[in-house]
Structure 1
Amino acid sequence: MKWKVKDIDQYLRAKEYVDTAIVPLVPLSFDSDLKQLASKGEFILTLANEMERQLKGRILLLPPYTYLKNHEGDSDKVLKKWKDTIKMHFKHVIFLTTDEKWRGNGDEGWIWVPPVPLEHMDQDLKRKIVQDQLEQILNILLQSWNNS
Structure 2
Amino acid sequence: MQWNTNELENWEELRNDVDTALLPLYLYRSGAQVPDHALRMNYLLNVAAGIERKLRGRVLLFPMMYQFSNEQMTPRIPEGFAHTVILHFSGDTMRKTEENANALMLAVGDQELDSALRFEVTVDVLYREVIRHWQRNSEH
TM-score normalised to structure 1 length? 0.76
* Aligned-partner Cα distance in 2 for 1:10–1:131: 29
Partner of 2:26: 26
Two-structure CA RMSD over aligned residues (Å): 2.3
Q: Within the alignment, does 1:90 sit opposite 2:81 as a pair?
A: yes
Q: Flag the structure with higher helix content.
A: 1
**Change beyond 3 A, Cα 1:102–1:11:** farther
Q: Within the alignment, does 1:111 sit opposite 2:93 as a pair?
A: no
Shift of 1:99: 4.7
Asked whether the equivalents of residues 27 and 92 of structure 2 are also in contact (C-alpha less than 8 Å), the reply is no
Partner of 1:143: 132
**What are the equivalent positions in structure 2 for 1:30-109 lying under 5 Å apart?**
31-34=30-33, 35-70=35-70, 72=71, 75-76=73-74, 79=75, 82-83=76-77, 86=78, 88-102=79-93, 108-109=103-104
**Change beyond 3 A, Cα 1:104–1:68:** closer
Match of 1:133 among 122, 127, 138: 122
Task: Tell me the percent identity.
Answer: 21
Opposite residue 81 of structure 2, the aligned amino acid is F
Q: Please, which runs of 5 or more residues in structure 2 have no aligned partner? A: none
* Aligned-partner Cα distance in 1 for 2:80–2:129: 21
Shift of 1:117: 4.2
In the alignment of these two chains, the number of paired residues is 131
Q: Please, which runs of 5 or more residues in structure 1 have no aligned partner? A: none
Opposite residue 88 of structure 2, the aligned amino acid is T
Asked whether the equivalents of residues 40 and 117 of structure 1 are also in contact (C-alpha less than 8 Å), the reply is no
TM-score normalised to structure 2 length? 0.80
